[in-house]
Chains A and B, each alone.
Chain A
Amino acid sequence: NIVMTQSPKSMSISVGDRVTMNCKASQNVYNNIAWYQQKPGQSPKLLIYYASNRYNGVPDRFTGSGYGTDFTLTINSVQAEDAAFYYCQRIYNSPFTFGSGTKLEIK
């Protein structure tokens, strides 16, 4: 089974900073990765699919990159409303395994 490892587990960033978080797959998943944002008490929201495609309505400060086993979600000029958990997920082929998440806090 594919394991998705996210790092760091948490980070504390100031408004306006740039943040990068990582997702590593235990085997080649090509570009079959999605990223989600989840705020407390809410369902996850799709941000990025197929590694680098921004979903409808997602601000362009969110950027996904990577291929194969190593993937990155970058948020340029972080806003206060970006405080949330972020999850990566292997898509296209099951099992649709999630990573363990990165918690983004805003200072």
Chain B
Amino acid sequence: QVQLKESGPGLVKPSETLSLTCTVSGFSLTSYHVSWVRQPPGKGLEWMGVIWGDGSTAYNSALKSRLSISRDTSKSQVFLKMSSLKTEDTATYYCARAGPGGFAYWGQGTLVTVSS
């Protein structure tokens, strides 16, 4: 069955770079696009960016200068790197896979706190 699982550090210092990994199973990264979505505590969902099946990427314009999404298809992993972290980047970070329309499959999310 389709599964996605996020992993990474729970605590990052301001100005540092966040690195997260989404490990997937049950499908091929070359057949489906995978997005990163985040949610600050008590707030709504924010789409961050996508890596398409062909490996191309697209980003939220508000984050584009700090964000990079890549993948390793042999390991079934998608990576997120975001630089120059601020306290307002504290959030639960999700990876999600496209379904028949929209994001049908989501990881459990990983909470990242930005604090010194």
Residue in A34, A94, A95, A99 whose beta carbon sits within 8 Å of that of B103 in the complex: A34
Q: Are the CB atoms of B47 and A55 closer together than 8 Å?
A: no
Chain A at the B interface: SS class: loop
Interface string of A35-48 (1 = CB under 8 A from B): 01010000111100
Q: Interface size for chain A: under 10, 10 to 19, 20 to 34, or 35 or more residues?
A: 20 to 34
Q: Are the CB atoms of A44 and B103 closer together than 8 Å?
A: yes
Neighbouring A residues of B26 by C-beta, 8 Å: none
Number of A-B residue pairs having CB atoms within 8 Å of each other in the complex? 66
Q: Are the CB atoms of A98 and B58 closer together than 8 Å?
A: no
Neighbouring A residues of B44 by C-beta, 8 Å: 85, 87, 98-101
CA distance A89 to B109 in the complex (A): 19
Task: Give chain A nearest CB distance to B55 CB in angstroms.
Answer: 15
- Nearest chain B residue, comparing its CB with the CB of A55: B104
The stretch of B17-25, B70-78, B93-101 in contact with A is B93-101
Q: Are the CB atoms of B101 and A34 closer together than 8 Å?
A: yes
CA distance A44 to B103 in the complex (A): 9
CA distance A100 to B47 in the complex (A): 12
- Residues on B lying within 8 angstroms of A by beta carbon are 35, 37, 44-47, 50, 58, 60-61, 94, 99-104, 106-109
Question: Sorted from nearest, which 5 A-B pairs have the closest CB atoms?
Answer: A34-B102, A49-B101, A43-B106, A94-B58, A98-B45
- Residues on A lying within 8 angstroms of B by beta carbon are 1, 32, 34, 36, 38, 43-46, 49-50, 53, 55, 85, 87, 89, 91-92, 94-101
